[in-house]
Chain A
């Protein structure tokens, strides 16, 4: 690179990152055909993201996390613990579907470390949910009390380590007795004493054990991911980030708590979101830098139409959310904003980004209206109804995709995919999506 990274414009940074995505360092392709196919697929996505016309509309099978398990005749309870089964299922998915991208089993949480840590934030099959349940689910609750805002704002990492983590990991309950790391200053006298506490030590041991258990998982995930890359299937998401309102509303204060805060302590809520934003930004940029695809996925929760008014959205949700998005844009990273539920009442404001820098992944929003209102600035994605994929016929799915492609695909800037993730269902409906993209999605 001629110029130092910091001196590049956002546009130049984006260009550099796309170049790296097209020729990922350290990847050996299985064949020249695989390499060629990889570059074609990545180019297809880059053009769609940047509002140009690709050779055809790219598609992502709406089987994000866990579909491979049920598809291969196993289930989540099994693959969370049996990584050979996990590899088998995800390989089957890899070989049976000729898609534009492939999602390795990174979203399968490994069971052993979760058990070692006694994770309380989630329930999973066989652990709070019946064995045949196909997904893991978050347990909503108030894990930061209203009077703990000041601690969070003063020192988020300290709040995390000594307050939040002991609440979500049973194994770390001893960490409430730790001193802040910042207490190490000048000559050390009694500073190590808390580490002699048996509960603290048990927490440390659990962390080390969880680390070793996670190694086995990442080895399996990496194996499948590497194979997919070598076969020419690019990944499209390298990191996850959340809107600061969701970080507070999902896992810290809970829906109930944060909604009361909007009335009872709005200033603290704003201050906390401002404090969290740079942390979300730095964490995601780090992950993207270590991967090939310069894309960060932001799953959005509590800003949807039914959760708050447009005024509340503009006051509480949007400002720090936009700040996070723009930080990615300025780093040359494309954020994919997954609006679960609907965002119909937000369409007048959510397109306010530099052209071709941001993608909106729309679950139940009226995507035709979105194409009209924001399609000239943002890439739009999604909208095959989850219910249709799960209960409809392949013909119905294909027909729906045709309509989406015709309207949203016009002029480029559209990626065909579903809404919320599908965990089970007729594979023919998945094939119908691929067929529709190939049959109707070609740009002339």
Chain B
């Protein structure tokens, strides 16, 4: 049942996935096992996205399926579920910019790939980034921005990290609509990633898991 479940989820078969979830719960299977299978299914989805077989719509839809499965499983869970994470990342859309489609995909893909993601949302003031870097002790910061005013906001955010003495142990990546390597240089970030998979690859490289 478990192998089917992983494949059905990866193939985005909504009705079948939900029916099988119900069947497994009715059969008194360990709900943690179902969650583990969901994670595996999402890993396959992430892989297909990385390979160019899946695109944004599949990603969004898989997220919806996962949500539905989680909701069905939730009442059967005793206590909190903790998953082992391979690294920490703080992400957010810089001040003056409220776009979050790309940001949320990066969040999703990092999460699926085992990272503990602190997503600060949109229009994030510099102080909030600083606080989050301090609080989480993250070694990776991801700055998102869609519009051209984000160029300066990114630069200022990076400079603030320097001033706070946080820059040395921090890798900073940028991404979003009008970003590229020129902007990376301008903002003095460490890397530019063209999509969510690039973000995952960068983070894995930086924590030494690539």
Which residues of A come within 8 Å of B, CB atoms? Answer: 123, 128-130, 132-135, 137, 139-140, 255-256, 259-260, 262-264, 306-309, 312, 340-341, 385-388, 390-392, 419-425
For the complex, give the distance between the alpha carbons of A387 and B175 in Å.
13
- Does chain A have a CB within 8 A of B60? yes
Q: B149 — which chain A residues lie within 8 A by C-beta?
A: 133-135, 423-424
Identify the closest chain A residue to B179 (Cβ): A387
Question: Contacts A137-B98, A306-B195, A308-B55 given: A259-B61 contact, CB under 8 Å?
Answer: yes
For the complex, give the distance between the alpha carbons of A423 and B56 in Å.
29
For the complex, give the distance between the alpha carbons of A262 and B149 in Å.
33
Check A140 against B57 for contact (C-beta < 8 Å). Answer: no
Check A306 against B178 for contact (C-beta < 8 Å). Answer: no
Check B55 against A423 for contact (C-beta < 8 Å). Answer: no
Q: Which residues of B56-104 have CB atoms within 8 Å of chain A's CB atoms?
A: 56-57, 60-61, 64, 95-101
- Chain A, interface SS category: loop
Check B182 against A307 for contact (C-beta < 8 Å). Answer: no
Q: How large is the interface on B (under 10, 10 to 19, 20 to 34, 35 or more residues)?
A: 20 to 34
**A and B contact pairs by CB, cutoff 8 A, 17 listed:** A128-B98, A129-B98, A130-B96, A139-B98, A140-B100, A140-B101, A255-B101, A259-B57, A260-B61, A308-B56, A309-B54, A387-B180, A387-B183, A391-B183, A391-B186, A420-B148, A424-B148
* A-B pairs, 3 with minimum CB distance: A259-B60, A259-B57, A387-B182
For the complex, give the distance between the alpha carbons of A421 and B146 in Å.
12
- Does chain A have a CB within 8 A of B190? no
For the complex, give the distance between the alpha carbons of A133 and B99 in Å.
14
Check B56 against A385 for contact (C-beta < 8 Å). Answer: no
Q: B178 — which chain A residues lie within 8 A by C-beta?
A: 386-387, 419-420
Give B41 Cβ to nearest chain A Cβ, in Å. Answer: 16
Q: B64 — which chain A residues lie within 8 A by C-beta?
A: 260
Identify the closest chain B residue to A309 (Cβ): B55
Cβ-neighbour of A420 out of B14, B99, B177 (below 8 A): B177
- Does chain A have a CB within 8 A of B151? yes
Question: Contacts A129-B98, A134-B149, A312-B55 given: A263-B61 contact, CB under 8 Å?
Answer: yes
- Does chain A have a CB within 8 A of B12? yes
For the complex, give the distance between the alpha carbons of A388 and B54 in Å.
31
Question: Contacts A308-B55, A391-B183 given: A129-B177 contact, CB under 8 Å?
Answer: no
Given contacts A130-B95, A130-B96, 7 further A-B contacts (CB under 8 A): A128-B98, A129-B96, A137-B98, A255-B60, A256-B60, A263-B12, A263-B14
Q: A312 — which chain B residues lie within 8 A by C-beta?
A: 55, 57
For the complex, give the distance between the alpha carbons of A282 and B125 in Å.
43
- Does chain A have a CB within 8 A of B147? yes
